[in-house]
Structure 1
Amino acid sequence: MNRLLKVEEVAERLGTTVRFPRRLIEERRITFVKVGRHVRIPEHVVEAYVAAHTVEPVNVRRSAYRRAA
């Protein structure tokens, strides 16, 4: 079974304040588990969220000849 993280732990992993993961939960943009009155987020969900929102760099080739302005 995957580890369930507290909201504070998710914020620490994402490098944000607690407000950001709470907003993700409120807007239903991330999967979460209610354990009584506590909210937990599975570890694999956080990893998937980061992977889904990762932007790869674009390699731009510069030509040997530059345009004159």
Structure 2
Amino acid sequence: MNDRYLSVDQVAELLGTTARFPRRLIEERRIRYVKVGRHVRIPASAVEEFITSHTVEPRRRPRARYGRAA
């Protein structure tokens, strides 16, 4: 229970988006959240999981064995 809980605005700032994006993630249940009364809080670990699961790693293209054809 040592997780830090962030507001929607804090998550938006962390992701570099508007507050509308984290609200949409919550509405579509694509990110974990906690309701505290009427307030919505998102655990920092949930934001990290979201970023990790949506990170696209670069593909290594195999080097051509021979140079370009003229």
Same fold (TM > 0.5):
yes
Offset, 1:67: 4.5
Q: 2:68 aligns with which of 60, 66, 69?
A: 66
In structure 1, what residue type is equivalent to 2:10? E
Mapped partners of 1:53, 1:34: distance in 2: 24
Unaligned ranges ≥5, structure 1: none
Question: In structure 1, how many angstroms separate the alpha carbons of the residues matched to 2:25 and 2:42?
Answer: 11
User: What is the number of equivalent residue pairs in this alignment?
Assistant: 68
In the alignment, structure 1 residue 30 sits paired with structure 2 residue 31: yes
* 1:14 equivalent in structure 2: 15
In 1: Cα distance, 2:46 partner to 2:3 partner: 10
Identity over aligned pairs, percent: 62
TM-score (norm 2): 0.89
Which amino acid in the other structure matches residue 42 of structure 1?
P
**Aligned-pair Cα RMSD in Å:** 1.2
> Deviation above 2 Å: which 4+ runs of structure 1?
64-68
Aligned to 1:48: 49
Report deviation, 1:59.
1.1
Give the structure-1-normalised TM-score: 0.90
Query: What is the distance in 1 between the residues matched to 2:31 and 2:7?
Result: 14
Q: Which amino acid aligns with 1:55?
A: V
Q: What CA distance in whole angstroms lies between the structure 2 residues aligned with 1:23 and 1:61? A: 39
- State the 1:29 CA deviation: 0.8
